[in-house]
Amino acid sequence: MAKKGKWFEDKSHTVLTDLFPAGTSIHSEKTVPTKWEGFRKVDIGIGKPGGFDYVILECKDEKSIGPGAVDQAVGIREDVGAKNAALLVNGRVSKNALKKAESNSIKVFNVIDPDDDRIRPRIWVKVITHFIWLQKFRYSLMFAGQEHKIYGDPNEVYIEPGKTLTQFVKDKWNDGTLSREIGIHSYSLEKFYMVTAPLLGIKTAAVDEIQIEYEIIRASYLSKVELSKGVGLYNIAERIFIPSSDFISFGPMTLEDVLKGEKMENLDEIEGAAFIGFAYHVE
């Protein structure tokens, strides 16, 4: 009958083998001599048992891990004379266990693999998304230095067949012509157009300059995105992910996911964001 948690020991061994340089001595479960002329089982060892750089790793496939697991790792470390010890866990570690681990110089790692349903821990990173957009604009249609008396909804003003003033402004925004800086700006284009606005009572009007005054605003959201691809170890205390695979990926993340995040008024309060993105495009 297979030992309970043997699959997790094998998984951890594979992750460590991929993580360390080729040629590193990493043994799986082994009976190791103790300093007291006895023997103890070690789940995983790095280096030669009894050597000055020998490190043991105890594997725990449990939903919750308490201080007892730390005591066990400390005891084995002392018995076999290992340089150090660590815990590789497949569950949540209590605060008391983490405190005890720190006081005994025991590092605690989650094994991470989003593609393995047996691996419980998941990791996320903070993402800041800045939505920057043109909130509103006003227009002036000029000819020979004089402003036409054309006012009203820019969706009803056509500067050419099928293209409204609103679409004109969107195109200038999307191609980067208009400023992305927060605030009020002006833009003008000197070009001849025959403008029509039937619903505003304008059949045709010659225009040689379009003037736009527009306001740019920003909204920032702090969200979390989950690691979706990538294998490795997560140092729980130091909050560091150490990948053993060549490729890692986060997401996907939808617009709805972003908008579920916390709207941030003071960006100085945001710390530790792994990704910062900007959304400009307008359909």
Assess whether the previous peptide bond of 121 is cis (omega < 30° from 0).
Answer: no
% of the chain with per-residue pLDDT over 90: 69
Please tell me which residue, 277 or 162, carries the higher pLDDT value: 162
The distance of Cα 77 from the centroid of its chain, to the nearest Å, equals 36
Does residue 276 surpass a pLDDT of 80? no
Look at residue 77 in the predicted model and tell me its pLDDT.
94
Can you tell me whether residue 35 is helix, strand or coil? coil
pLDDT, mean of residues 53-78: 95
Q: CB–CB of 75/87 below 8 Å?
A: no
Of 45-54, 99-108, 222-231, 266-275, the poorest mean pLDDT is in 266-275
State pLDDT tens for residues 139-157: 999 999 999 988 899 999 9
According to DSSP, residue 155 is labeled G
Q: CB–CB of 277/219 below 8 Å?
A: no
**Cα-Cα-Cα-Cα dihedral sign, residues 96, 99, 101, 103:** negative
% of the chain with per-residue pLDDT over 70: 95
Of 4-18, 106-120, 265-279, the poorest mean pLDDT is in 265-279
Look at residue 1 in the predicted model and tell me its pLDDT.
47
Specify the DSSP element, H or E, that contains 9: helix 6-19
Model confidence band, residue 26 (pLDDT cutoffs 50, 70, 90): very high
- Give Cβ neighbours of residue 249 (< 8 Å, ≥ 6 apart): 227, 228, 229, 230
Q: Which class in CATH covers the domain with range 6-112? A: alpha beta
- In the chain, domain spans: 6-112, 125-226+252-283
Does residue 283 surpass a pLDDT of 70? no
Q: What angle do CA 108, 57, 272 make, to 5 degrees?
A: 25
Does residue 237 surpass a pLDDT of 80? yes
Does residue 262 surpass a pLDDT of 60? yes
**pTM of the predicted protein model:** 0.73
Does residue 7 surpass a pLDDT of 90? yes
pLDDT, mean of residues 115-127: 93
Q: Which residue stretches of 117-266 are H helix?
A: 165-174, 255-259
Among 174, 172, 171, 140, residue whose Cα is nearest residue 157: 140
SS3 labels along 50-106: CCCCCEEEEEECCCEECHHHHHHHHHHHHHHCCCEEEEEECCEECHHHHHHHHHCCC
**Mean of per-residue pLDDT scores for the chain:** 91
Model confidence band, residue 171 (pLDDT cutoffs 50, 70, 90): very high
Look at residue 195 in the predicted model and tell me its pLDDT.
94
Does residue 282 surpass a pLDDT of 70? no
User: Exposed (0-12), middle (13-18) or buried (19+): which is 118, by Cβ within 10 Å?
Assistant: exposed
